[in-house]
Structure 1
Amino acid sequence: MFYDEKHHKLMIKLVSHIHEIARSLISREIDIAADRMSIVHGLVPDGSKRVVSGQYTKEPASSWHPATLPPSRDAKWPSLVIECADLESITRLRIEAEWWLTQSEGDVRVVVVLIIWPFRSGISLEKWVPDPDGNSGSNDSTTGKAKCVQRIELQCRSKNTASIEVNGGPLRLEFEMVFLRAPNSSRQRDIIVSEEALERIMGLVSDGNI
């Protein structure tokens, strides 16, 4: 959901059951990876917590913030966001990713864009981060203040996991960007959603019986 008070525009994104499956499975992998670090309640799942910023109101598909925040910021903005939709909405999703990164003035550090292909044939994942200097020259950026730094494509050619192709994986979410601090032990490391996990997610998404 996105509301622009100035222009009195309300945009509601219709999310299907299959979007919820993909989003929840990716979210679960993130939570599992965070729990493995033995940081008790270190990453707080905010879900689709609504954020109000000036004239705008926005709800993500999923979001998280670290339990311990730097002194300079509060819990208004998450550090990590997921947005999801169909392939036909990819331009809108990229705009939403940039909104989180720019409207928060960099408090949101990572946005993962999750795109479901037609007929459940594939999934695309894009990892967006702030680009305050606008040096990336990305053609996908509308503001020049954000950039896509990783693209992953999952494709299922038939109804079995052996036919699933993963290109660009694994998904890596840097520890400092998610937890807003440097790691202080060897167990604290980047959150990795492995290629094997991505294959399993693609297999479930492509299953016509779900």
Structure 2
Amino acid sequence: MLDTKSDIGTETSGGSFLGDLGPPIRRYPYKGVTQLLHTLKTEKCRQQDDVDVSEWVNFTKFNNQAFTRDFLNSESMERRWNSYDSPEKLILVKVLASHPHEAAARQFERLLFQSLQPMGLVSSLQTLGSATCVAENGSAKQPDCQYLPLRLPKARTDKWPSLVVESDLSESPSKLMSDARFWLTGSNREVQMVITIMIGRSTPEIVLESWELDNDSAKRTQVVIIGKGENNHLYLRGQPLIIGFDKLFLRPPSIPRETDIIFDDDILKQMATLVWVEQES
């Protein structure tokens, strides 16, 4: 069973969000792009030999100048990084995008828009992909998926999405907890909800969690577990997963067909099955 630490109400706070990431995510001091690429190549080989090796590497001693020069202004490196923690001088880089990781994000997006069809709102929601978002303290992040309604409330900017989705192939929730903390506390309350998807590396189990801001902390508000037991029997706990209409569209429903988005048993099983197909292939 995955190490979810999944009690509803668990909170996480603080300006730094990568500083608490430990094993299995390794750390290396940053010495330039050439050294970084060599390190990623080494970690990729380790990942192929050992399923417990993380798909992430944290580089230390990484300042704003290096971030702008080597990543933001470089097309070849633009998609290599995932998160930059300016106060801690840390940058999190992806070793290799795994198929289950990508499948989880893509399937979630497909099922989200499928749920919007009966409401007639498919064309009312922007999907912003992995576009970079930068916080006031200089920290930055690229999510797996992010969404923002086309029509925004007055005084609301388009700098931040309303909903973010982050996935991870892991046995530990620490990376996803740090993701939620960044989006909710770094966006000046503009991100309304974060959905995290943790896929077990060696356990056929997927944990979806929703996070929202409570005072100044990221608070876990839902935990849904989809697993595979004996004879490939699927089980669910904590379902359904609910995305509040107002959280996504930044307004209350205005007609009866506009309702909260509900990922019920069938939707959750469909998503999990397609992720496991990628994982087992």
Q: Which TM bucket (shorter chain)?
A: 0.7 to 0.9
Residues 1:36 and 1:13: Cα distance change in structure 2 (over 3 Å): farther
Partner residue, 2:158: 75
**Do the aligned partners of residues 6 and 167 (structure 1) sit closer, same or farther apart at CA in structure 2, a change above 3 Å counting?**
closer
The equivalent residue for 2:274 is: 204
Whole-angstrom distance in 2 between the partners of 1:90 and 1:32 = 28
From 135, 138, 154, the equivalent of 2:226 is: 154
- 1:142-167 CA-to-partner distances (Å, cap 9, x unmatched) read xx61211100001012574xx01011
SS at match of 1:119: coil
Aligned mates of 1:57, 1:21 — CA distance in 2:
24
TM-score (norm 1): 0.87
Q: Which protein is bigger by CA-based radius of gyration?
A: 2
Aligned residues: 197
CA distance in 1, matches of 2:230, 2:103: 19
Mapping of residues 31-110 of structure 1, within 5 Å: 31-39=113-121, 41-54=123-136, 55-110=138-193
Structural RMSD (CA): 1.8
Q: Decide which of 184, 187, 191 is 2:257's aligned counterpart.
A: 187
Q: Indicate yes or no: 2:236 matched with 1:166.
A: yes
Q: Which has the higher contact order (CA 8 A, sep 6+)?
A: 2
Q: Say which SS state the counterpart of residue 2 (structure 1) adopts.
A: strand
TM-score, length-scaled by structure 2: 0.66
Does structure 1 retain, via aligned residues, the 8 Å contact 2:185–2:217?
yes
1:20 aligns with 2:102: yes
- Which residues of structure 2 form unaligned runs of 5+? 1-81
Percent of pairs with identical residues: 32
Contact 1:34 1:43 in 2 (8 A): no
Instruction: Determine whether 1:126 maps to 2:209.
Output: yes
- Matching residue of 1:135: none
**Secondary structure at the residue paired with 2:194?**
strand
C-alpha distance 159-106 of structure 1, shift in aligned 2 (>3 A): farther
- The answer as to whether partners of 1:172 and 1:190 remain within 8 angstroms in 2 is yes
Judged with a 3 Å threshold, the aligned counterparts in structure 2 of structure 1 residues 104 and 30 are, in CA distance, closer, same or farther, namely: same
